[in-house]
Amino acid sequence: MKGVCIMSGEHLVGTVLDGRYEILEVIGVGGMATVYKARCKILNRFVAIKVLKDSLNNDEECLKRFLSESRSTAKLSHHNIVGIYDVGEESGMNYIVMELVDGITLKEYISMKGVLDWKEASHIAVQIGLALQCAHENNIVHRDIKPHNILITKDNTIKVADFGIARAVTSDTMVTGKETMGSVRYISPEQARGGYVDGRSDIYSLGVVLYEMLTGKVPFDGENPVSIAMMKLNEAPISCRMLSPDIPYKIEEITMRAISKEQHLRYQSAIDMVSDLNSVVEEIALEDESETHYIGRRNSKKKKESNRRRIIAVAVVIAILMGIGVYSFMRRGVKQVEVPELVGMTLEEAVLFVSESGLEIDEENVKYEQSDEFEEDIIMHQEPGINQYMNPKKKIKVTISSGKGVVDIPVPSLVGKAYEDAIEELKELELKAERIDEYSETVELGKIIKQSPTKGVKVTAGSSILLHVSKGAEEKKIVPSLVGETIENAKKLVAEAGLKINIRERESTSKVGRVISQSPESAELLKEGDVIDVVVGVEPEIENTPTPTPENSPSPSDVTPSPSTNPVTTPTTPPRRKVLSVQIPEDSPESVLIKVVANGKQIYERRHNKSEVTVDIPVEARNDATVQVYIDGVFMFERVIDF
């Protein structure tokens, strides 16, 4: 019997999807989905699970785009493409199970190095090109090739990810119209104007990526997406050799051909571009080698063998150089969050919008500038820009349009004043106010917590000032005691406390339909709307089996008790065995000492290599067992195992 399961796609750590995927941690947050690291309990391997955000599950267009990623990529099988393993839906959540890539994005790698050596850049571009060739042969256009969607593994393999906006190519002309997806810095001119899109559009994007690796810059950049798109349509890109003279002429020719405005002037297939890149790398490698080695080998057989070795040596050097850079950067371990597009929003809208992604606007440094293009009070520029990634501890800087008026009114200091008084003061200066209400432990109800822009910033008449107004101290909610309650009573108690409940299931022979454990514990204080995680017992789907008896030994049922056996002290059931899976942390030393204590008694102590990743430890008991796990003497977790 399956119990009721209510899950949130954005709060899944510690849950098990479909009875198979144990969610371990969040590894990425994007505009449409949250990506988790998980362990497949059946195949005992780590995977990545992309779960569509709760707010978008009812959006038919977003759901269609999300599911298209699985349908498109599932057709592809290539070592340079992130693989899709499974697609599922549980309790209204849609998710995709993917290959877990242990690495960093190409965008992060470029940010670290600034400019890549042309050989290394060519090596990366070749692998991207091979992935695109595979996709195009399967009638799939990626449409969003950019460094953010390209991963570099620890062994220097390139993996193209996120086919979320890819579509199957039909014999009909494909026109995107207003739906210009992806980052405008990388999309082709035909995508920017809503024209015919095919594999050559991906080749253009690959050319932009190669250009950026070689120079540290993209061919076209500007204040906003509209201006960048217009440059793509009307201007010629600067030659990459003008920015980086060390680039070989032939590499420049390949790059500039790939980013030709007209589709018929570009490479007509990804494999053609790959072939040219490989030829240049081999040709220059042989030329360099000939300058430092004597000439005179006349035996053609020996010459071919020598050339082959030289090419392999060049490849090895490139791999080593990449490995050093990637590994040193990966040691930072900072999780990045994708930056949403804020241009076109008001400051109030932007503040509320980014909070959903765990980001913040740098309200203390908001800038105002005159603009003929953007209306007054509309964000006209942001840093970082759309589709870039940033540390969530940092803040997004924005520039707001002051319209065509004169920027000459200094903003007064309003912090600490009553909202009504602040409104009157702004009216006298011909300024308006936007309001956001939020709780504060230090500022009285109805008074200003902070303002944007801050005191002294000059704006035009009619500009809006964003005021954060105190709702007073937030009332704390007491966590009710739920352990032992039926699931119906638990839901009722949680609702009455003004909190939410997230239910997980665990097999139990004695606590079916009742709460086994809860987190946080009872009597703790939470904010209104916070979530309590509970574990509810459900009937086992498979009967537990008794501990195997030695060969040639009678089973417990075959043993006839002797008359002298005391029926009170003889166990009526044999001990049962279950397996406890212990994951070795990634930052552990090469070997660790794992110790397990069950019901106060140590049952396991053994040293394991870090490479084992997960250790399965048998636990035997006749009744429920509370186990504690220690690694190298450090307490890791406690768990109740039902028998």
pTM (predicted TM-score)? 0.47
DSSP 115: S
CB of 596 within 8 A of CB of 629? yes
Distance CA 114, CA 335 (A): 20
* Tens digits of residue pLDDT in 96-138: 898 898 889 999 999 989 899 999 999 999 999 999 999 888 8
pLDDT band of residue 7 (cuts 50, 70, 90) is low
* Axis-axis angle for helices 249-258, 270-292 (nearest 10): 170
* For residue 478, pLDDT beyond 80: yes
φ, ψ dihedrals at 137, nearest 5° = -65, -20
User: Residue 192's pLDDT band (boundaries 50, 70, 90)?
Assistant: confident
Strands (E), 439-524: 448-452, 458-459, 464-470, 476-478, 500-507, 515-519
d(CA 375, CA 462): 12
DSSP string, 43-101: TTEEEEEEEE-GGGTT-HHHHHHHHHHHHHHHT---TTB--EEEEEEETTEEEEEEEPP
CB 555 within 8 A of CB 545: no
- Residue 602: CB atoms within 10 Å: 11
The secondary element (H helix, E strand) that includes residue 306 is helix 300-330
**Greatest pairwise CA separation for the chain in angstroms:** 106
Each residue's pLDDT tens digit, 17-56? 888 999 999 888 776 778 899 999 888 889 999 888 776 7
Q: How confident is the model at residue 614 (pLDDT cuts 50, 70, 90)?
A: confident
Instruction: Give yes or no: 86 in active site.
Output: no
403-422 average pLDDT score:
88
Greater pLDDT, 353 or 247: 247
Report the pLDDT averaged over residues 439-461. 89
For residue 31, what pLDDT is reported? 64
**pLDDT grade for 389, boundaries at 50, 70 and 90:** low
Q: What is the dihedral of CA 392, 394, 399, 400, to 10 degrees?
A: 60
- Token pair for 194: 């809503």
- Is the pLDDT reported for residue 513 higher than 50? yes
Strand pairing partners for 548? none
DSSP 8-state code for residue 2: -
Mean pLDDT of 607-614: 81
- Say if CB 301 and CB 106 are below 8 A apart: no
**Average pLDDT for residues 494-507, to the nearest whole number?**
85
- Name the more confident of 482 and 324: 482
Q: What is the pLDDT of residue 177?
A: 37
What pLDDT does residue 69 have?
Answer: 65
pLDDT 10s digits, 63-73 = 776 676 677 67
Q: Which domains does the chain have, with CATH numbers?
A: 16-99 (3.30.200.20), 104-292+301-330 (1.10.510.10), 337-470 (3.30.10.20), 476-538 (3.30.10.20), 568-641 (2.60.40.2560)
In this predicted structure, the answer to whether residue 258 has a pLDDT above a threshold of 90 is: yes
Least confident stretch, 191-200, 381-390, 503-512, 553-562:
553-562
Is residue 171 pLDDT above 60, yes or no?
Answer: no
HSE, side-chain direction, 13 A CA sphere, residue 553: 7
Degrees, nearest 5: CA angle 494-498-502? 45
Three-point CA angle 545, 550, 554, nearest 5°: 80
> Quick one: tokens of 133?
């060739």
CA distance 26 to 468: 30
Residues paired with 168 in a beta bridge: 140
Task: Supply 562's token pair.
Answer: 């002797």
Q: Where do we find the tokens 């919008």?
A: 353
3-state DSSP percent of the chain in helix, strand and coil, to 5: 30, 30, 40
Distance separating alpha carbons of residues 258 and 201, to the nearest angstrom: 9
> Which residue among 54, 59, 86, 144 is the active-site one?
144
Cα dihedral value 411, 416, 420, 421, nearest 10? -60
pLDDT at 296: 47
Token pair in block for residue 88: 């599922």
State the burial class of residue 208 (Cβ atoms within 10 Å of its Cβ: 0-12, 13-18, 19+).
buried
Q: Mean pLDDT, to the nearest integer, of 373-391?
A: 79
Candidates 486, 487, 507, 529; CA nearest to 642 is: 507
- For the ranges 178-192, 220-234, 620-634, the lowest mean pLDDT is seen at 178-192
Residues in the chain: 643
Structural tokens at position 277:
């890149």
Residue 25 CA, chain-centre distance (Å), reads: 11
Q: What is the pLDDT of residues 194-220, one digit of tens each?
A: 777 889 999 999 999 999 999 999 999
pLDDT-derived band at 573 (thresholds 50, 70, 90) equals low
